[in-house]
């Protein structure tokens, strides 16, 4: 982002680092937007990944499993 804009990605990464908050990204939504991790890059025969450190691509199964053990879900 520009120098006068808030760096939201860095803020999420800081939350992950300082408090251990899982940064799960919906794999389907990420792929539609061109965001891929190393696994998807290999599967799609692309030269590199662009998912930022600290974030993890996950599916509905991970969301369902996490919902069983958490006290709240934040979604936006």
Which one of the listed residues 21, 26, 41, 62 is annotated catalytic?
26
| CA distances to 15, 28, 40, 47, 63 from 73, in Å | 16, 19, 26, 35, 9
- Greatest CA separation for the chain: 40
Residue 26 is among the residues annotated as catalytic for this protein:
yes
Catalytic (active-site) positions = 26
């Amino acid at each position: 982002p520009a120098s006068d804009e808030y760096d939201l990605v860095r803020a999420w990464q800081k939350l992950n680092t300082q408090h251990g908050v899982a940064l799960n990204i919906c794999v389907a939504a990420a792929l539609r937007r061109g965001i891929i991790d190393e696994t998807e890059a290999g599967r799609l025969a692309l030269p590199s990944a662009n998912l930022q450190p600290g974030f993890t691509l996950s599916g509905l199964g991970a969301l369902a499993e996490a919902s069983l053990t958490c006290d709240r879900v934040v979604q936006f």
